[in-house]
Structure 1
Amino acid sequence: MNAAATLTSGSAPAPASKPPLDDVMLAMDVVDTLRRRERIVQKELDEVGREEDLKERLRRIYAAQGIAVPDSVIEQGVAALKEDRFTYKPPPDSFVIKLARIYVNRGVWGTWLGGLVGAGALAGALYYFVVLAPNAALPDTLEEVYAEAVALAKSDQAQETLERSFNAGRAALRGDDKAAVREAIRQIEDARDILEQEYRLRIVNRPDEKTGVWRIPDINTGARNFYLLVEAVDPTGRVLTVPIENEETRKTERVKRWGLRVDERTFKAVAADKQDDGIIERDRFGQKTRGELVPRYEMKTTGGAITQW
């Protein structure tokens, strides 16, 4: 025996070489073929001595497709199926696996989380701009609108009216009554708008519209309150929108027509003027100049008004 032979026989057996990749792919295909014929496979593997029949059937299947599959590959495929190789088995449900699933699904929950975060940010921004910022600006707003209105006022009455609302607003600020501050600001803004206007007060004088109305007061059903309907016309002939306090509701509304309370005699005189020829010859009720809060009335009136009838 030569030295080479002695060395070989005295060594450990050479390790089995790994099957080529093509054989592995064929074995996987064999397993896939067997799975597609699950009922046949189950029957063949469950019965003793039928494994060889199964292998022969596999040889015929591949031969019919023109694929040459070595017996060793078929052996590997059948063995792999029996051992559940080439089959995905999910890992145990551990904490690490749960974290991995959360990360993999981040596209789904990330969208929802991003939406929630975005909605929260939007709500916060809205709250700041709608509530916090305006409330923080209340003191400055009160000062600004008061200064604008006082600059327009040309009478002691107008200045006194503005000062009352301004003082009420400052008292509300000290008491942290934001609603009362906003109400004071609204009153001053309404007064400022009136001070800026200049118009002629005209009785509504159109054939298809009412000229006057009367009301029965709740506290005295035997009496009647009479109102002539008027509108404010500026020097260009345009009908203005004017802030008017309704004496029945105590609410201020911006309207183009309103009713001024007059006595019965004045009411009937205007009604007779209209009934004569359908036209009110004397339709001028008063004049409001810039810088004044109240018109100078040319007809007898209490100054009380209504905005609905």
Structure 2
Amino acid sequence: MSATEPMSAATTADKAPLDDVMLAMDVVDTLRHNQDLVARELAGEAREKQLIERLRTIYHQQGIEVTDAILKQGVAALEESRFVYTPPKPSLGVSFARLYVARKRWLPAAFALFLMLAIGLGGYFLVWAPYRAAQQEQVRVELAEQMPAQMDALYQTIFEETKVTQAADDAALIRDRGKRAAAEGDRAGATQAIADLTSIRDTLRQEYQLRVVSRDGAKSGFWTFPEVNTEATNYYVVVEAIDSHGVALKLPILNEENNQTETVDIWGIRVPESVYRAVEADKRDDGIIQRNIVGLKEFGYLDPSYLIQVLGGAVTRW
């Protein structure tokens, strides 16, 4: 015997257990792929020999010689479910393990969702919430301090500049109403009160002349039949307000026909027929109205003082 023979024998002895295991696994695999055979032959232990013979025949047809020990081992392994993977029972740990194994599928989407959530929460708590809080604080300070102070200042200006008690009385009522609105958190009501006080102050400061319109293409007067009494006739003189710089002003005028206030630069004031006829005659004389100033608005007053007789009505459309 050569020097290599002992080594070959030792190697064969070392490999034999592994080969036996592989054969046993192959036997189990053969049985698993022949489920009908297993169902029939394993119905009782008495048929084990017959099953082994059948298995030996199968392997012999494939040119593989398998010992009875290996065949018995394979049959026993099948019965014991050896070499068969049995899925673990559902549990929290198994669920986490499966999530970890499948992380390549869900991790990018989860990271994107987390990033969106982080940006959204960060934007809300770091940007929107402070901005909203600052706005609310600004509104609170405005309603509690700034707007009431502005109302007081406007009222004081009106009280000092007016030459008629009506302006001061009206301003006091508006101021008190505006302060109540501010205390109740009604910003719109407080804003309207400030606008009304500002309007009174600006009206007091206005200075202008009311002149009869006298130019080509424009009427200087007209008459109408009122809808409420078609047998009566209303006479109007068309006027405009001219300030000290010769600029025509736009003023809020209450239209007596529809009870709506419009801001216009030309309107008609209702006058007696005698006044209307006098203006008509003045214009017919030479095409120029000599006595064209019909009223004066002075500083400190709400309304103009008329130099002619008026009946207290006005229209903005004709």
Q: TM-score surpassing 0.5? A: yes
Instruction: Measure how far apart 1:248 and its partner are.
Output: 4.1
Q: Do residues 234 (structure 1) and 243 (structure 2) align?
A: yes
Instruction: Give SS of 1:244's match.
Output: strand
For 2:109, give the aligned amino acid: R
Of 229, 249, 264, the match for 1:220: 229
For 1:238, give the aligned amino acid: V
Q: Give the alignment's Cα RMSD to 1 decimal.
A: 4.7
8 A Cα contact 1:194 1:243, kept in partner: no
8 A Cα contact 2:143 2:182, kept in partner: no
For 2:209, give the aligned amino acid: R
**Alignment correspondent of 1:100:** 108
8 A Cα contact 1:190 1:243, kept in partner: no
**Alignment correspondent of 2:73:** none
Structure 1 or 2: more helix by fraction: 2
The TM-score normalised by the length of structure 1 is: 0.56
Instruction: Give SS of 1:232's match.
Output: strand
Aligned pair count reads 229
Of 193, 200, 204, the match for 1:191: 200
- Superposition map of 1:156-171 within 5 A: 156-170=165-179
Q: Do residues 277 (structure 1) and 295 (structure 2) align?
A: no
Instruction: Measure how far apart 1:6 and its partner are.
Output: 6.2
**Alignment correspondent of 1:59:** none
**Alignment correspondent of 1:299:** 308
Give 5+ residue unaligned stretches, structure 2. 16-99
Percent sequence identity over aligned pairs:
34
Over 3 Å counting, the alpha-carbon distance change for 1:300 and 1:169 in structure 2 is farther
Over 3 Å counting, the alpha-carbon distance change for 1:99 and 1:124 in structure 2 is farther
Question: Equivalents in 2 of 1:124, 1:196: separation in Å?
Answer: 40
Question: Equivalents in 1 of 2:136, 2:224: separation in Å?
Answer: 47
- Superposition map of 1:1-309 within 5 A: 97-98=105-106, 100-104=108-112, 138-170=147-179, 181-309=190-318
8 A Cα contact 2:155 2:168, kept in partner: no
Question: Equivalents in 1 of 2:244, 2:127: separation in Å?
Answer: 52
8 A Cα contact 1:287 1:297, kept in partner: yes
- 1:175-205 deviations in whole A, cap 9, x for unaligned? 7766555444333222211111111111111
8 A Cα contact 1:262 1:300, kept in partner: yes
8 A Cα contact 1:242 1:255, kept in partner: yes
The TM-score normalised by the length of structure 2 is: 0.55
Over 3 Å counting, the alpha-carbon distance change for 1:6 and 1:172 in structure 2 is closer
8 A Cα contact 2:203 2:302, kept in partner: yes
Instruction: Measure how far apart 1:207 and its partner are.
Output: 1.7
Greater Rg over alpha carbons, structure: 2
